Chains A and B, each alone.
Chain A
Amino acid sequence: MKIQLKIIFLLLFLISLGFKAQEISGRITYNVSLNLTIEQVTERYKGVNRKVPQSSKDRINSSRDILAFLEFDKQHSIQSLEDELKNDGYRGKNMTQKGAGNNKLYYTENAFVQKTSIVECKILEECVLIEQPKAEWKIFQETKIIGSYLCYRAEYQNPIYKYKKPIAWFAPKIPASYGPKIFTGLPGLILELEDNTVTYTAIKIELNPQEKISIEKPEGKALTQEKYEALLKKTFPAFYKKIEDYKTSN
């Protein structure tokens, strides 16, 4: 009987150790740079029978790198950009900022199913959490080292951009299925992401820092992407009519 009890205690101890080992938290700092060239843009304007406007060239030439921060624990993650105020006098001129989602937050919750939402607080009168469809990835054998981590290449399969499929480099050694923006769900943390017009590269990786990371779920009504778009069209009919008018006149 005593031996049985000892075995049970030992098993419980090992199980608790296992849980402890899975508890991971961290803070990743990414450098975000523009990966859009004037040559690419020229081709795209050709497609709509237009010349590249000077303002477009200026925006590309004057873009500069920014920082993005991803904080995570076992339950959830949140990604934000560096403080807007630090870019004083530069607002709107930086295309990198647009590619990185302007001032939006990206929140991922790990419940039974992982759910990623875009937190939008500026457009409507209240904040909304726009739920994103489940990410589908194709993983390749191609590897590269980022920091000291071996990373695998993965391609995002959900239809999202016209010209490109986002490519992620994730580290299976960091068992956290998170990444920048809406790009989550891989069997390891994303350390580099080649998105549509910007590239995120991890420049600082802090795992299980002494200072506890506390993430709170952002407040706001949860909406699917479809419902959110329908709500926008209902709230701003003039804007969407203007887009339709533009499309028919061009």
Chain B
Amino acid sequence: MKKVLLALVFVLATGTTFMNANSSESEEVIMETTEAVELIQVAGCARDCVDSAFEQTIDQAIESGELVEMDDYMWNYESCYYNNCLN
């Protein structure tokens, strides 16, 4: 009898805990999903800037006859990010 009672108490306790955990965490999950979507959008824009800045740096080197420089790439990337990824 004691074992049955203990088992019931255990089931009730864990059940309640899981129920609580589910109800409170579900809200957070929704919020995190929203943030993640925003982050992916920004990262997508930044990713595009990585490619376009590289292309632009190569083109500028052809135009000027200078070497492909890291600082030109950084400048082009920052400019792209500044112009396109920031609201």
A residues at B contact (CB < 8 Å): 36, 41, 44-45, 48, 50, 53, 55-56, 89, 91-93, 95, 98-99, 102-104, 120, 122-123, 161-164, 196-197, 232, 236, 239, 242-243, 246
Contacts and interface: CB of A to CB of B under 8 A. Distances in A.
By secondary structure, the A interface counts as loop
Closest 4 CB pairs of A and B: A92-B79, A162-B65, A91-B79, A163-B65
A242 B56 CA distance: 14
Interface stretch (B8-16, B24-32, B66-74): B66-74
A48 B65 contact: no
Interface residues of B, number: 23
Interface string B24-64: 00000000000000000000000000000010101110111
A232 B58 CA distance: 17
Given A91-B78, A92-B83, A56 B70 contact: no
26 contacts: A41-B63, A45-B63, A55-B56, A55-B59, A56-B63, A91-B82, A91-B83, A92-B76, A92-B83, A93-B79, A98-B60, A98-B64, A99-B64, A102-B72, A103-B75, A122-B71, A123-B71, A162-B65, A196-B65, A197-B63, A197-B64, A236-B70, A239-B70, A239-B73, A242-B54, A243-B58
A192 to B, nearest CB: 20
Given A91-B82, A92-B83, A98 B65 contact: no
Contacts of A91: 78-79, 82-83
A165 to B, nearest CB: 12
Interface of B: 54, 56, 58-60, 62-66, 68, 70-76, 78-80, 82-83
Nearest to B53: A92
B62 A45 contact: yes
Given A36-B63, A56-B59, A102-B71, 4 more contacts: A93-B83, A95-B60, A98-B60, A102-B75
Contacts of A103: 75
Contacts of B59: 53, 55-56
A169 B74 CA distance: 32
A98 B54 contact: no
A48 B63 CA distance: 11
A104 B71 contact: yes
B75 A92 contact: yes
Contact of B63 (A44, A123, A164, A242): A44
Contacts of B78: 91-92
Contacts of B79: 91-93
Most chain A beta carbons < 10 A, residue from B58, B73, B75, B80: B75
